[in-house]
């Protein structure tokens, strides 16, 4: 259950973890080198010699981009500053995805809200075309006031979602009990800003206020310590991942006891929906991976 306190308490944590995260980030890449703007008719822009990317949304259209590379496992970091003010009805999506009807996908989606009300961070994992594994959170800071780091660690054993270096969710490989896990399909990174006022805010009750347009989300400090797939072969096969680091430690990384405690703190205080607790949605029994300890 979410805490009944303010959605943005614990601001003191911001400076502590921001220092740790920013000091540990590898040299950020250049958006011109790593991404293609794919839609939006000029509403997406790469600025500051490739150091900043912005997406905008108005009544006519949103905008989006995708990575030039496909990845099969990696540690992906991106800093985002979300739409400020009245962002109700808008969705900023940042995710990894393969293509086709049996696609795999690892999602961050940020659901906008009325001024002063908290964003909802929506997460999901698709494997072999099946999703329905939603977990939702409030954040312990205002994600529109500054940039924050949103990370996906994806290796053959687990997927870990983190915010400013704090793990919020772990999805473990549960193939041993018949649950498909994303491990065979290379994925690109995608992001988009779009209008979803038919469902995004209070189930669609609150509509987008177009008098506040254009809405803008900003991105910087992308980093991929990852295995790049090209013509069916992986850069990690030659031990040359796209990173300034010289090892593949993340490929077998797991949460230590401190990470487990931090994740438990987030889930106890800021989780507002967990599909593994929704017995009304799954009257025939919860999905099998829900029995895997700490999979959430």
- The residues annotated with a catalytic role in the active site are 105, 109
Residue reference for tokens 């009245």: 86
Nearest to 114 by CA among 92, 93, 140, 84: 84
- Burial letters 177-194, b for 16+ CB under 10 A, else e: eebbbbeebbbbbbbbbb
Enter the tokens of residue 266.
């987030």
Residues 6+ apart with CB under 8 A from 125: 105, 106, 107, 131, 133, 159, 171, 182
Nearest to 251 by CA among 234, 270, 263: 234
DSSP 131: -
Beta strands in the chain (DSSP E): 35-39, 45-47, 52-57, 63-67, 70-81, 90-97, 105-111, 120-126, 135-137, 148-154, 158-163, 166-172, 188-195, 215-230, 233-234, 271-274
């Amino acid at each position: 259950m979410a805490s009944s306190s303010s959605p943005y308490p614990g601001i003191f944590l911001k400076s502590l973890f921001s220092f740790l995260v920013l000091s540990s980030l590898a040299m950020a890449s250049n958006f011109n080198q790593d991404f293609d703007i794919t839609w939006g008719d000029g509403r997406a822009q790469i600025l500051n010699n490739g150091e900043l990317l912005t997406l905008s949304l108005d009544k006519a259209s949103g905008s989006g981009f995708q990575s030039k590379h496909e990845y099969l496992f990696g540690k992906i970091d991106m800093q985002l500053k979300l739409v400020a003010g009245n962002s109700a009805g808008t969705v900023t999506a940042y995710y990894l995805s393969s293509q086709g009807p049996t696609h795999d996908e690892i999602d961050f989606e940020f659901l906008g809200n009325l001024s002063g009300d908290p964003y909802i961070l929506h997460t999901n994992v698709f494997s072999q075309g099946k999703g329905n594994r939603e977990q939702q959170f409030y954040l312990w800071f205002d994600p529109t006031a500054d940039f924050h780091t949103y990370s996906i660690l994806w290796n053959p054993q687990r997927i870990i979602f983190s915010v400013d270096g704090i793990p919020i969710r772990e999805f473990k490989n549960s193939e041993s009990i018949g649950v498909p896990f994303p491990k065979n399909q290379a994925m690109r990174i995608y992001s988009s800003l779009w209008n979803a006022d038919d469902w995004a805010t209070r189930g669609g009750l609150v509509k987008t206020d177009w008098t506040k347009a254009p809405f803008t989300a900003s991105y910087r400090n992308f980093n991929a310590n990852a295995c790049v797939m090209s013509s069916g072969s992986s850069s990690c096969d030659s031990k040359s991942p796209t990173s300034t680091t010289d090892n593949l430690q993340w490929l077998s990384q797991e949460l230590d006891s401190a990470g487990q405690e931090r994740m438990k703190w987030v889930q106890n205080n800021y989780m507002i929906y967990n599909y593994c607790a929704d017995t009304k949605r799954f009257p025939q029994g919860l999905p099998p991976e829900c029995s895997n300890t700490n999979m959430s």
